[in-house]
Amino acid sequence: MKTWANIFPIMLVALAAGCFPESEGQLPNFSLQIPLNQLSGTVNEEGLESWSRWRSLPQEQRSIYELDFLRNNFFLGLHLNCREGDNSFLGTDQMLNVVKDNNGQQYLQIALLVGEGTACRFTSSVYLTAKPDVVELFSGSSQEIPSLLQAGENPVEINASLHPRATAVCTNLAVSGDATYKFGAIDLDEEVMLPAVEAKAEGGKVSFSLPNLPIGRQFVLRKGSSIGGAFVWEETKINFLLTTINGFQEICEL
Helix (H), strand (E) at residue 205: strand 205-214
The pLDDT value recorded for residue 14 is 41
Closest CA relative to residue 76, chosen from 100, 51, 57, 106? 51
Distance between CA atoms of residues 194 and 185, nearest Å: 6
Taking the domains of the chain in order of start, what are their residue ranges?
Answer: 4-162, 165-250
Helix (H), strand (E) at residue 124: strand 117-131
Averages of pLDDT over runs of 10 residues in the chain (254 residues) are: 52 41 61 89 86 85 91 92 85 68 85 88 93 90 92 88 95 89 95 94 93 94 84 91 92 77
Give the pTM.
Answer: 0.86
CATH 2.60.40 fits 165-250, yes or no: yes
